[in-house]
Amino acid sequence: MTQPYHIVILGGGSAGWMTAAALAKVLDQKHYKLTLVESSAIGTVSVGEATIPGIREFNQLLQIDEDEFLRETQGSFKLGIAFENWQNIGDAYMHPFGPYGVTLNGVPFHHYYLRHEREQGQGAAMPLHELNLEWSMANGNKFSRPIADKRSPLGHIKYAYHFDAHAYARYLKKYATQRGVVALEDRMLEAKQAQKHGALQALILEQHGELQADFFIDCSGFKALLIGEALGVEYHDWRKWMPCDSAVALPGQHDADTILPYTRSIAHHEGWRWKIPLQHRTGEGWVYSSRFTDSDKAEREFRETIGNFDSKANHLRWMNGRRDEAWKHNVCAIGLSAGFIEPLESTGLQLTQSGIMRLISLLPGAGSMTERAHAFNRYTAEEITNIRDFVMCHYKLTARDDSAFWRYCRDMAIPDSLQERLELYRENASIFRNSNNELFNEISWFSMFHGQGLTPKNVHPLAEQMPAANLQQHLKTIQGIFKQSVAQLPSHAAFIRKHCQA
């Protein structure tokens, strides 16, 4: 390349500024030029953000100081997601980020626990939460970063964050512009192309005129102004499997002294609601399906549930699904423009992050990019499809019969990819990832299967070989170590006050 390769990002928000920050970190300014175009007149979707542990890897790539980042974004720590009322009203379980027990003889721990539960009976079996460090910490409202001694369970704590998504975007904007990203406050009028649905040549902006570039990244959200409107890439609608396509967001009651180190997902009669605890507020959202209720009814019931009758509500709409191609010609979609899975398992920023890292791995440049685009699209489709099946399964495994919404979810036909997982687990508790590209591991799948009452007929044959007394003692040892470890930890609120208070 005889001159810097120009990459233009259309859209700010979390996706745009995460993309800009990452590229600014890894690309040499002598060989690459980065420009981001955003319009303050176009709102962003995020009202608060719950994440999963992969976000820590992204921040580490940027070499961000964690305490500073949490202060700037009013953030808190997250050890997992608590699910309430999902199988039946009154039921509760957690999807923790860390493992259960320890693997024995190459056999995942959950096989041994299921055997223990079968032999003891569910009422007498050791509680599952006492065999998971992160779940035990969450129950005690405790938190600590991993300690230096890796021989201790406390040396392997898995966690993520809650933070204000708008503040995160502002934080990354400052980071990116300090590293050479040019930020333009403007609105796109047109995408210039030599032919319809062909490669892009430039963006025509309202204030800055024609902005030429070699490569364009579409972070324009659900509008998908480049990948959708300009290039005409079709969108696969998955709402028949995940009918929740709307939400109302409001501030909830907040207590700075009892900030929970986990997200709450509480099922209601026509969907579910989130509770995301930040340092300065608790964000709440009422998720529902527009097929089964309308926005006025949803807002009214939400206000009555949380007792907020004064704050202005923020209404959100989306379509669960994905683009047929996330990278076409010289345009790559990152974030909502590429696809979206409802916020139940906090995968929004994870999909953005993985798209960014995939783009860096297959970095665009001079010459043909056909094979790189094919690889990007293949892995992107695999990733979001696997996430789709995981999120969909929460609805399919319900036993609720209290509304047309839950009856639809319980009885809906599911794709073969999910049906195979369910049958494999039912047969002997086996859980396999379809590929190394799959986000959720056996910890995640077991948490959901067990939490929502899916009982296997058998367990792994090797798990049957351990003498019952030895198994009981093994579980008691793990239980005791975790209990002792958690007892010495500070409360979540105390840890924040000491290290990262805003």
Phi, psi (degrees; rounded to nearest 5) at 331: -130, 135
Amino acid at 110: H
Contact 11, 221 (CB under 8 A): yes
Find tokens 């009322």 and name the residue: 85
List C-alpha distances in Å: 25 to 11, 186, 260, 477: 19, 24, 33, 45
The number of angstroms, rounded, from the C-alpha of 128 to the middle of its chain's C-alpha atoms is: 24
The number of angstroms, rounded, from the C-alpha of 160 to the middle of its chain's C-alpha atoms is: 10
d(CA 110, CA 133): 15
Partners of 6 in the β-ladder: 33
- The DSSP bridge pattern shows strands 321-323 and 271-277 to be unpaired
Contact 132, 147 (CB under 8 A): no
Q: Is 14 annotated as a binding residue?
A: yes
d(CA 32, CA 7): 7
Find tokens 């400052």 and name the residue: 174
User: Both tokens of residue 86?
Assistant: 């999902």
Find tokens 């002598």 and name the residue: 30
d(CA 222, CA 290): 17
Partners of 247 in the β-ladder: 287, 316
d(CA 374, CA 380): 10
B/e letters for 145-162, b = 16+ CB within 10 Å, e = fewer, are eeeeeeeebbeebbbbbb
Amino acid at 496: I
Q: Is 345 annotated as a binding residue?
A: yes
At 191, is the secondary structure helix, strand, or coil?
strand
Q: Write down the catalytic residue from 25, 30, 33, 78.
A: 78
Q: Is 140 annotated as a binding residue?
A: no
Dihedral angle of Cα 321, 326, 328, 334, to the nearest 10 degrees: 130
Dihedral angle of Cα 198, 202, 204, 209, to the nearest 10 degrees: -160
Q: Is 25 a catalytic residue?
A: no
Q: Is 304 annotated as a binding residue?
A: no
Binding residues for 7-chloro-L-tryptophan: 78
Active-site residues, by number, are: 78
Binding positions for FAD = 12-15, 336
Residue positions in the annotated binding site?
12-15, 78, 336, 345
User: Which amino acids are annotated as binding site for L-tryptophan, given as ranges?
Assistant: 345
